[in-house]
Chain A
């Protein structure tokens, strides 16, 4: 059985089956491929036989008027339809599985931006372009984009999920084979689209655990990062929100910004996210991720009306993951915890798929 699997996998140039569900997906693929080939080549053979058998013998040869019998039409429709529906009947439940993370999956946050992948483990390190996961444990990815639509694609896992700005999408997998596997971006996003490569490193569970321990202890960007940014010093306790709050404490944000709505040197963070703010120059902007990030990097570019331009820049002081964590923290500061508008996707709790 395994030989057939390997034979067909190689015949079809499919990558290694590195996730638990990759095998079943490939088996369906083989079934579709083989049955399609049988059907199609039968038709080809039939046409060739007919061309020889019924070749024209005289210039104005007449032919019998042939009408279909109902049984023939029924077979010609019924057999392919049954086959196609069989494909669907197998594939759709597989798809539901792919879209439904198990409740005990560990989360990893993925942020796509032109043209790199950033990964953050709750309570763990951040990294760029390299994602380390343990074998045999379900991992849920929570993906968002900083700019345009990207798509997170790992052929070896048979996994793909579009990554959208302004909301989170999710996907999950359970790696079954240690190894290093390419990550591609599969949605055109600009000049660096084909260079937006990453690497999935699947480690034996024990190795992964020790690595994670080491990350939490040493507090340093590990050698796995390919593009270390200004400071990778992040406190690893707690989740992304917690991280954001701690970074804000460390960086002194609360000297000027309150979290309870009270007026202070800078605008309050309570209900700030997505609020329409009026700027000094009369324009209005929405305080979205982009605005909040820009305010940290170029604070005097778009000052809220009524406030003085006294905020220092944090360029070089905050790494991108840290800035992202602060933004996440600000997003969480709302007077009404229950959203009046419908959710735009899974938020932070293991859900059983939409």
Chain B
């Protein structure tokens, strides 16, 4: 087992070679550092929220600070972690490798997005010290300094759009000879669908936030009822982006697990076309369901009906994937390692969380649940339970490829168990709190909600501890880890046809693709793996 050198990590040295790099792999690693830092920051604010909610009354902070806490937690997690994480780290690192290319279509734009992320993040976090919520007229009429947050979000959005644009062009124009659309790894299909949403939906958010900023600054009255404006128009514009945005957050997760399940079951995906096209289906139908966030806003019952029924269809595309991932295990050769454990976590939580989404779309039930902890639990099941599990699955699967070293499997399995248990303990009580009627964004609450809040905080502590362990052994592995070699998992994904870590230009010459990625029917000459 050899550690490839020189590789993209050590070929050029010095800070300048990193900060001005055009190598998609180095850009991916920079994003990894930034995104993990953002996750830690967002997680820190989450812990503060949970600490405050340990008692019904004030615990460690006042109401204004609490407002800042949930604002910081939410905005950081969504814009600085959930949306960029998998695309900017794994998309950047793997797309050229999976396509047989040397880099993405526009490397300089790729580097530019890193700086957009940094600048947008700095401005937004600085602005969020004030706190608030985006809904008008609260955001436009109260003392909250919403403008820096809006500007920061706008800049972050630009980065998101440019990343999506880059990926779409890369997938269209840089496929190696022989790599037809129907041979594309499913990771690529899902990243493509994600990029389409990023490109089409983000500008809508950008403009809407700009309008809020303008209204706040100049009182133009676009959303102000006193000047003929309509606050519900804001909600429609906001959710027109924000619903597709959740698919920006979950499609990349689906991209990752399609690869992980095939590699760890050593089996072709059950229903390649269904999985590939359902990603596009989610992207498309996802644009037409935003009104399910407005069932109690006073919109017409007719509109609510349309949005409700369309939301059921969007759920079906996910159900197709769940069945197909499960069916992939049939007649497989399954190896239960950390990536696969996270895959299972992803699958289960996507299923249960997704079903609560279907339940929320059942219009009459949403009247009770809207703006309660039931919704909070639902989206955390998907965002943490599905996306973060998938992120961890991908991180563990591709860690040896990115860094040439293996982490400790024992620590990884232990941490995975902690994370999964902690996750359940944190969020299942929140479903029950929602059923009881506890609204969101509550700083203080009546006594009847006390014990479930304590349970949730306890779970959150366990979850946080699990994440810290993951960080610890991964960092240690960079120094102490066993050398991985080109393909420790014996996976037939195209990206494993490179040394670990990959060389600067990825391939000595452009490969020609002659088979689908994950096809394990026949023995492959020269295939090599670890014996675990």
Does chain B have a CB within 8 A of A7? no
Query: Which residues does chain A contribute within 8 Å of B446, judged by CB atoms?
Result: 182, 197
A54 touches B367 (CB 8 A): no
Does chain B have a CB within 8 A of A77? yes
Annotate A52-69 by CB proximity to B: 1 below 8 A, 0 otherwise.
001111111111111110
B364 touches A184 (CB 8 A): no
Query: Which residues does chain B contribute within 8 Å of A28, judged by CB atoms?
Result: 362, 364-365
Does chain B have a CB within 8 A of A205? no
A62 touches B266 (CB 8 A): yes
Partner of A151, one of B227, B296, B344: B296
Interchain CA distance A60-B133 in the complex, whole Å: 54
Does chain B have a CB within 8 A of A230? no
Partner of B523, one of A60, A161, A167: A60
In the complex, what residue of chain A is closest to B348 when comparing beta carbons? Answer: A44
Partner of B437, one of A15, A29, A166, A169: A15
B335 touches A56 (CB 8 A): yes
Does chain A have a CB within 8 A of B78? no
Partner of B332, one of A63, A81, A197: A63
Contact residues, A21-75 vs B (CB, 8 A) = 25, 28-29, 32-33, 36, 39-40, 43-44, 46-47, 50-51, 54-68, 72-73
Query: Which residues does chain B contribute within 8 Å of A353, judged by CB atoms?
Result: 301
Q: What count of chain B residues pass the 8 Å CB interface test?
A: 95
Query: Which residues does chain A contribute within 8 Å of B442, judged by CB atoms?
Result: 193-194
Partner of B522, one of A62, A67, A164: A62
Give the contact-size bracket for chain A.
35 or more
Does chain A have a CB within 8 A of B225? yes
Query: Which residues does chain B contribute within 8 Å of A29, judged by CB atoms?
Result: 359, 365
A85 touches B312 (CB 8 A): yes
Partner of B364, one of A44, A98, A148: A98
Query: Which residues does chain B contribute within 8 Å of A68, judged by CB atoms?
Result: 270-271, 274, 324, 327
Query: Which residues does chain A contribute within 8 Å of B348, judged by CB atoms?
Result: 40, 44
Interchain CA distance A56-B263 in the complex, whole Å: 12
State whether A56 and B334 are in contact (beta carbons under 8 Å apart), knowing that A63-B520, A160-B368 are contacts in the complex: yes
Partner of B316, one of A51, A77, A169: A77
Partner of A47, one of B298, B302, B347, B362: B347
Interchain CA distance A340-B152 in the complex, whole Å: 42
State whether A63 and B266 are in contact (beta carbons under 8 Å apart), knowing that A153-B439, A191-B63, A197-B446 are contacts in the complex: yes
A354 touches B301 (CB 8 A): yes
A184 touches B362 (CB 8 A): no
Annotate A280-321 by CB proximity to B: 1 below 8 A, 0 otherwise.
000000101010000000000000000000000000000000
Does chain A have a CB within 8 A of B351? yes
Does chain A have a CB within 8 A of B5? no
In the complex, what residue of chain A is closest to B522 when comparing beta carbons? Answer: A62
Query: Which residues does chain A contribute within 8 Å of B514, judged by CB atoms?
Result: none
Query: Which residues does chain A contribute within 8 Å of B312, judged by CB atoms?
Result: 81, 84-85, 87-88
Interchain CA distance A100-B137 in the complex, whole Å: 27
Give the Cβ gap from B517 to chain A, nearest Cβ, in Å. 13
Interchain CA distance A148-B135 in the complex, whole Å: 9
In the complex, what residue of chain B is closest to A81 when comparing beta carbons? Answer: B316
Does chain A have a CB within 8 A of B331? yes
Partner of A188, one of B305, B361, B441: B441
Select the residue from A87, A90, A185 with max chain B CB neighbours within 10 A: A87
Does chain B have a CB within 8 A of A348? no
Contact residues, B491-532 vs A (CB, 8 A) = 519-523, 527, 529-531
Interchain CA distance A96-B64 in the complex, whole Å: 38
In the complex, what residue of chain A is closest to B442 when comparing beta carbons? Answer: A194
Does chain A have a CB within 8 A of B118? no
A191 touches B330 (CB 8 A): no
Does chain A have a CB within 8 A of B108? no
A165 touches B231 (CB 8 A): yes
Does chain B have a CB within 8 A of A159? yes
B138 touches A148 (CB 8 A): yes
Interchain CA distance A218-B478 in the complex, whole Å: 81
A162 touches B133 (CB 8 A): no
Does chain B have a CB within 8 A of A328? no
Does chain B have a CB within 8 A of A94? yes
Contact residues, B279-314 vs A (CB, 8 A) = 295-298, 300-302, 304-305, 308-309, 312-313
Does chain A have a CB within 8 A of B183? no
In the complex, what residue of chain B is closest to A48 when comparing beta carbons? Answer: B344
Annotate B446-457 by CB proximity to A: 1 below 8 A, 0 otherwise.
100000100000
Contact residues, B61-77 vs A (CB, 8 A) = 63-64, 67
Give the Cβ gap from B339 to chain A, nearest Cβ, in Å. 14
Does chain B have a CB within 8 A of A261? no
In the complex, what residue of chain A is closest to B315 when comparing beta carbons? Answer: A84
In the complex, what residue of chain B is closest to A163 when comparing beta carbons? Answer: B298
B298 touches A63 (CB 8 A): no
Interchain CA distance A33-B355 in the complex, whole Å: 9
State whether A14 and B301 are in contact (beta carbons under 8 Å apart), knowing that A84-B358, A95-B364 are contacts in the complex: no
In the complex, what residue of chain A is closest to B452 when comparing beta carbons? Answer: A13
Interchain CA distance A265-B418 in the complex, whole Å: 76
B64 touches A63 (CB 8 A): no
B364 touches A165 (CB 8 A): no
Contact residues, B133-189 vs A (CB, 8 A) = 133, 135-138, 141-142
Select the residue from A43, A197, A345 with max chain B CB neighbours within 10 A: A43
A95 touches B432 (CB 8 A): no
In the complex, what residue of chain A is closest to B429 when comparing beta carbons? Answer: A13
Partner of B367, one of A50, A56, A72, A160: A160
State whether A80 and B319 are in contact (beta carbons under 8 Å apart), knowing that A167-B225, A182-B437 are contacts in the complex: yes
Annotate B416-439 by CB proximity to A: 1 below 8 A, 0 otherwise.
000000000000000011011101
Query: Which residues does chain B contribute within 8 Å of A77, judged by CB atoms?
Result: 316, 319-320
B297 touches A63 (CB 8 A): no
Does chain A have a CB within 8 A of B60? no
11 A-B pairs with CB atoms under 8 Å apart are A12-B435, A51-B334, A60-B529, A64-B331, A81-B313, A88-B362, A88-B363, A94-B364, A166-B225, A182-B446, A191-B63
Which B residues are within 8 Å of any A CB, using their own CB?
A: 63-64, 67, 133, 135-138, 141-142, 225-227, 231-232, 265-268, 270-271, 274, 295-298, 300-302, 304-305, 308-309, 312-313, 315-316, 319-320, 322-324, 326-327, 329-336, 344, 347-348, 351-352, 355-356, 358-359, 361-365, 367-368, 370-372, 432-433, 435-437, 439-446, 452, 490, 519-523, 527, 529-531
Which A residues are within 8 Å of any B CB, using their own CB?
A: 12-15, 25, 28-29, 32-33, 36, 39-40, 43-44, 46-47, 50-51, 54-68, 72-73, 76-77, 80-81, 84-85, 87-88, 90-92, 94-100, 147-149, 151, 153, 155-156, 158-162, 164-167, 169, 182, 184-195, 197, 286, 288, 290, 345, 353-354
